């Protein structure tokens, strides 16, 4: 509510140039165009979608392994470890990325190292536990009879996984990916440490990038007046994004299980 009361008047005043402009000079005077957050919105989307594109297939593959292939002993060890990963504070991930991933990128590809790629790597790891645990649960909830029926017709276990198990668990899998996406778009600390936070449209995956959350966190400490309101307005934009994602997640999980 507070975010809205601070942010919405600013949104109304700055109008669409706030969303579409690409120059962000918040400490300058209130000049038209200087409040453009388009690069930041784009940065958030690039970082989030890329992380999901990497994390979702990995996570689903891990879930198939845990639900179907892993022997019970392995499962007993891995399932709690995956949950434990979800509980690690994000600043720890960020710090790890800053010390390991960023220097690696700098060494391999040049540039600063703080980049889109660094964000993708660390965020895809961070969303794995969410995707793995929810997908695994939904696959284990698929009735045993489906699997038996498929195997009894001479399908291989891989065909059974692909054509029966994953489709039957699809609503849970989609939900897990959307929740993972929600975590990625909302992630602040880890991204802030490795993104580089330059308000430009990145021209390669090795270029620095800034996101809505990181920008708000970085600048709120010293922002005053219109700048502060602009950050609240960014909060509103972020809120809308997350509402859309949550809505999608609800739709996906309520969808009837047919395929």
Give me the residues that bind another protein (CB under 8 A), please: 72, 143, 145-146, 148-156, 159, 163-164, 167-168, 257-259
The CA–CA distances, whole Å, from 253 to 18, 124, 248 equal 34, 22, 9
> Residue 72 CB, nearest distance to another protein (Å)?
8
**Residue among 243 and 257 whose Cβ is closer to another protein:** 257
Q: Which residues pair with 196 in a beta bridge?
A: 209
Contacts of 162 (CB under 8 A, 6+ apart): none
Rg from Cα positions in the chain: 21
Q: Which residues pair with 209 in a beta bridge?
A: 196
- Distance between CA atoms of 175 and 112, rounded to whole angstroms? 35
> Residue 77 CB, nearest distance to another protein (Å)?
18
**Residue among 4 and 146 whose Cβ is closer to another protein:** 146
**Residue among 6 and 159 whose Cβ is closer to another protein:** 159
* Nearest residue to 116 via CA among 25, 69, 184, 167: 184
> Residue 238 CB, nearest distance to another protein (Å)?
37
**Residue among 63 and 165 whose Cβ is closer to another protein:** 165
> Residue 255 CB, nearest distance to another protein (Å)?
12
């Amino acid at each position: 509510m507070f975010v809205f009361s601070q942010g919405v008047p600013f949104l109304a005043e700055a109008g669409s140039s706030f969303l579409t402009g690409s120059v962000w000079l918040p400490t300058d005077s209130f000049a038209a165009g200087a409040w453009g957050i388009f690069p930041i919105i784009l940065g958030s989307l690039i970082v989030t979608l890329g992380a999901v594109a990497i994390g979702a297939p990995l996570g689903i593959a891990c879930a198939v392994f845990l639900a179907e292939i892993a022997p019970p002993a392995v499962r007993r060890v891995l399932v709690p470890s995956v949950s434990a990963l979800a509980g690690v504070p994000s600043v720890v991930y960020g710090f790890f990325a800053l010390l390991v991933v960023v220097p690696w990128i700098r060494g391999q590809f040049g540039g600063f190292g703080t980049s889109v790629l660094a964000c993708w790597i660390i965020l895809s790891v961070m969303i794995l536990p969410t995707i793995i645990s929810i997908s695994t649960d939904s696959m284990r909830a698929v009735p045993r009879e489906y699997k038996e029926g498929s195997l009894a017709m001479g399908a291989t276990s891989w065909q059974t996984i692909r054509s029966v198990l994953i489709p039957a668990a699809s609503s849970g899998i989609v939900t897990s990916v959307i929740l993972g996406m929600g975590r990625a778009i909302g992630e602040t600390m880890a991204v802030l440490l490795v993104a580089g936070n330059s308000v430009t449209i990145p021209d390669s995956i090795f270029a620095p990038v800034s996101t809505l959350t990181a920008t708000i966190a970085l600048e709120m400490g010293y922002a005053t007046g219109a700048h502060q309101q602009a950050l609240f307005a960014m909060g509103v934009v972020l809120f809308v994004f997350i509402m859309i994602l949550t809505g999608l997640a609800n739709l996906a999980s309520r969808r009837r299980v047919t395929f």
